[in-house]
Amino acid sequence: MVATIIFYALAVLTVGSSCMVAFSRNIVYSTFALLGAFMGVVGVYILLAADFVAMVQLLVYVGGILVLTIFAVMLTQGIADVTVSNRTVGLVPALAIITIAGAVMAYAIERTHWHLVPARTPAPTTYGIGNAFLGDYVLPFEIASLVLLAALIGAIVISRHEARE
């Protein structure tokens, strides 16, 4: 019962924040509303007992991408004064598409025969993922780290070359 209430609260937070991101006329407000959407998704992952995915979402999206976006918006001068023109041009087609997509989803939800399984106790997943990275998948993990290192070195070389010109 409590988990259901928490789920619906997180769903309202996620969908409400996402709507604020999409419909806000101010980019600063949209960026801060994105924080609520990301945190709602983290909460849903925690409810699903996907602790590793929740922490990756928190570190990568909230800790990296969102902070970078906030800094980019805050450091751009006059970005809060920008007015978006032609906001109502696509309103009717967007509402038609939303209505059709919502009707299709409602039809699918009503017609699907849902198979319920008995609830299991959640177990942490980080231990198994860590053992897999250091066991069977150590070679692909190290190759991925070398590819990322090569991309980082390439980005540094390109940026230094453009700075010299």
Task: Break the chain down into helix, strand, coil percent, rounded to 5.
Answer: 75, 0, 25
Residue with tokens 């409590």: 2
How many Å apart are CA 27 and CA 99, to the nearest integer?
26
* pLDDT of amino acid 94: 81
* pLDDT of amino acid 29: 85
Which CATH number applies to 1-82: 3.30.930.10, 3.20.20.80, 1.20.1250.20, 1.20.120.1200? 1.20.120.1200
Q: Are 45 and 57 in contact (CB under 8 A)?
A: yes
* pLDDT tens-digit map of 138-164: 898 899 889 989 988 887 888 776 556
pLDDT category at 81 given cuts 50, 70, 90 is low
pLDDT for 80 beyond 70 = no
What's the DSSP call for residue 58? I
* pLDDT of amino acid 130: 82
For residue 12, what are the contacts with CB-CB under 8 A and spacing of at least 6? none
User: So where are the chain's domains?
Assistant: 1-82, 123-165
Alpha carbon distances (Å) from 140 to 50, 77, 136: 23, 43, 9
CA dihedral of 47, 51, 56, 62, whole degrees rounded to 10: 40
* pLDDT of amino acid 13: 96
pLDDT for 103 beyond 90 = yes
pLDDT category at 105 given cuts 50, 70, 90 is very high
> How many Cβ atoms from other residues are within 10 Å of residue 40's Cβ?
20
Q: Is the model's pTM score more than 0.85?
A: no
* pLDDT of amino acid 161: 64
pLDDT category at 129 given cuts 50, 70, 90 is confident
